[in-house]
Structure 1
Amino acid sequence: MKLKTVLLTAALSAGLVAGAVQAQERVFFGIATGGTGGTYYPLGGMLAQVISNNADIEGKKLSATAETGNASVANASLLGRESIESAFVAADILDAAYNGRNQFEGKAMKNLRALGALYPETVQLIAQEGITSFNDLEGKSISSGSPGSGQWQLLGDLLAAHGMSRDSVTEDYSSFSQSAEKIKDGNLDASLITAGSPTSSLVELTNSHTVNVIPLSGAAIKELQKTQPYYASTILPAGTYKGIDKDVETIAVRAIWATHSGLSDEIAYAVTKALYENTETLGKVHVKGKEITLERALESVSIPLHPGAERYYREKGIID
């Protein structure tokens, strides 16, 4: 009887040890995205799944998770502190963080590295029916996201370009989903939302409430683009949202998948490969996933590439 007990104990111990070894064979990899009402979050979730299903390093499986975040400025700061392995960051914010400009004045994050470009994020200025132009916003309430965020910075730039200031409007700091709800309830006049279109929170809003998408074009925008070259002119196509039956001229900035210099070359190579060799899967989750291509992987990338990602691009002939 004692022998059986000893053998059982030994077997259980061996099982626990084997389980611990198996647990050590998984390498965890985080992706900071954005709020649930934007595009970062659903694409980040599918990217995490793609990595988990396709990436491994030296026989160890990569286990990726997408985490909700406060978008570009907060995500860049997370990377600067090396508090997460990767994050989605708008190209202009990533450049400012690396070089210590604008919100990052005196706080340059030289450890930031790029993995690759994703898709263009469309600047969508959504407003109540009576507002048809940017100048109509004077004296109105508008949400621009958290103070210091990329959205907040953009609103200031747009106001200045149109000869206005922050004192010209009443600012609200709600998230995409919160601002959509406030517009629907009549508690907010407008919201500035930069995200891949269609944006889920706006789909829900326009399905039950009539809004205008305000054009961002003309002389004021051309002046803005001289100081903010990352903002490219684009079109929000008719039919993107219910009730939007005409093309709307606006601007867009590309989203970048970024990391930090502390990430190993092996992991950076594996996740970059997993992304660009499984773009069709991402396209099934969101229409913007179809715009992620290897050919445009370095578009709007102005900071150094991570050596692991660079190795992948060299193998594919994207860089010499």
Structure 2
Amino acid sequence: MRKFRRLTLAAITVFVAGVAALPALAQQTRVTYKSAAAGTAYYQMGVELSEAIKAGTDGAVTVTLEESQGSVQNVMAVMRRGGNYVFTTPPSLVTKAMAGKGPFEGRPASAFGKIRGLFPIPAITMHWVVKGGDGVIGLKDLAGRHILIGRGSFGAREAQRYLELFELTDDVRIADADIGSGPDALKNGQIDGFVTASSFPTPNVIETAASLDISLVSLTPEQIERTGAAHQTIPAGTYAGIDEDVETTSLPVIAYTTTGMDEETAYTLTRTFWERREAMADESGWWAGITPEMIGNMTGKLHPGALRYYDEAGIEVPERLR
């Protein structure tokens, strides 16, 4: 009988210990983050963000990275994902998904109606890089130059659009080559400049500026307005020899989730992102350009958890996002 009692007490002790441990297990939240292909700048941002979230929550929230083939795939995945799914995309794709247009034609638009915004991440920024140490030049200074814009990419499409918009197509000679060859071709004197679109500081521009004098094209406020694109400032000193701010355009990128994420998780992710942004910027310069004003680039609605953080922090939120 005594032996049975001892066993029973031991069993009760184990049971109570197990129950006591349950809240600790329940506190850990797992989030899936889908951004870009491995080896890209945006995948590296995902690595840095996941480390920042883990550090900022003392491990209570862990972020698992998933490789992606692009923003369209990220948005499409909303149809079969639930819960703590976070993905990155330009806001324009969310607008198309909700309207059932473009690559989302024929898909149930209602499936994309559950998309909700969290916070901005570094934008895809237009860089017009030209050989020569003038520092900052204007669009008109491209006349007579041999410029590589690449093929098929966002940067190539935007560059071609701007050349047409500002009637420079007859004044600028376009090099027929892949944009990856831009820095070497510029160093070898095969071209006068190249266009690249990436978050800044972008490695190929850093590399080019370290080996020869370059200039960057800066647009006027009127020119930026005519493009219809988002305004982006590349701060002075971002690249060697560029001692003035460069005014250019960008394609905003936003971290989104869905209504499947609970309010507390969305609040924690958003709060931790902003609280750790400065520390991330100390490690990687591309986070330095993120400001609360970029929230205005979102389309759709903010997640209630993210909105709660912004209201608590006194950050202005456009009424259309509420």
Range into which the TM-score falls when normalised by the shorter chain: 0.5 to 0.7
User: Does 1:204 find its partner at 2:228?
Assistant: no
Report the Cα distance in structure 2 between the residues aligned to 1:138 and 1:180, rounded to whole angstroms: 16
Q: Does 1:216 align with 2:219?
A: yes
1:265–1:218 Cα change, 3 Å: closer
The one-letter code matched in structure 1 to 2:284 is H
- Report how far residue 241 of structure 1 moved: 1.6
One-letter amino acid matched to 2:303:
H
The secondary structure found in structure 2 opposite 1:207 is helix
Local SS of the residue matching 1:193 = strand
Amino acid at match of 1:272: T
Deviation at residue 301 of structure 1 after TM alignment: 1.8
Match of 2:5 in 1: none
Give the secondary structure class of the aligned counterpart of 2:55: helix
Between the aligned partners of 1:200 and 1:182, the Cα distance in structure 2 is 16
Once the two structures are TM-superposed, the CA of residue 66 in structure 1 deviates from its matched residue by 4.5
Q: Which amino acid aligns with 1:169?
A: I
Instruction: Report the 3-state secondary structure (helix = DSSP H, G, I; strand = E; otherwise coil) of the residue aligned with 2:116.
Output: strand
Which residue of 280, 297, 302 corresponds with 1:300?
297
1:239 alignment partner, SS class? coil
In 2: Cα distance, 1:137 partner to 1:260 partner: 49
Q: Residues of 2 paired with 1:219 and 1:26: CA distance?
A: 47
Relative to structure 2, which stretch is displaced further, 101-110 or 156-165? 101-110
Task: Find out whether 1:169 has 2:169 as its counterpart.
Answer: no
The correspondence of residues 1-320 of structure 1 with structure 2, limited to 5 A, is 27-33=30-36, 36=39, 38=41, 40-55=42-57, 61-66=60-65, 74-82=70-78, 85-92=85-92, 94-96=94-96, 98-99=98-99, 109-119=112-122, 122-129=125-132, 133=139, 135-136=142-143, 140-143=147-150, 147=152, 149-163=153-167, 169-170=174-175, 172-174=177-179, 179-184=182-187, 190-217=193-220, 220-224=223-227, 228=228, 230-232=229-231, 234-293=232-291, 295-296=292-293, 298-318=295-315
Q: Is the contact between residue 146 and residue 192 of structure 2 (CA under 8 Å) also seen in structure 1?
A: no
Deviation, 1:101, is 6.1
The letter of the residue matching 1:268 is A
Query: How far off is 1:279 after superposition?
Result: 2.2
Q: By how many angstroms is 1:303 displaced?
A: 1.8
| CA distance in structure 1 between the aligned counterparts of 2:270 and 2:148, rounded to whole angstroms | 41
Q: CA deviation at 1:49?
A: 0.4
Label 1:247 to 1:117 Cα distance change in 2 as closer, same or farther (>3 A). closer
Q: What corresponds to 1:12 in structure 2? A: none
Cα deviation, residue 300, structure 1? 1.6
Matched with 1:13 is none
Q: What fraction of aligned residue pairs are identical, expressed as a percent? A: 23
RMSD (Å) for aligned C-alpha atoms: 4.4
User: Quick one: distance in 2 between partners of 1:188 and 1:265?
Assistant: 52
- Using the size of structure 1 for normalisation, the TM-score is 0.66
Q: In structure 1, how many angstroms separate the alpha carbons of the residues matched to 2:182 and 2:87? A: 24
Q: How far 1:161 moved relative to its partner?
A: 0.9
TM-score (norm 2): 0.66
Aligned equivalents of 2:146, 2:158: Cα separation in 1: 18
1:63 maps to a residue whose letter is T
Gaps of 5+ in 2: 1-17
- Count of residue correspondences: 284
* Residues in 1 aligned to 2:143 and 2:214: alpha-carbon distance in whole angstroms: 14
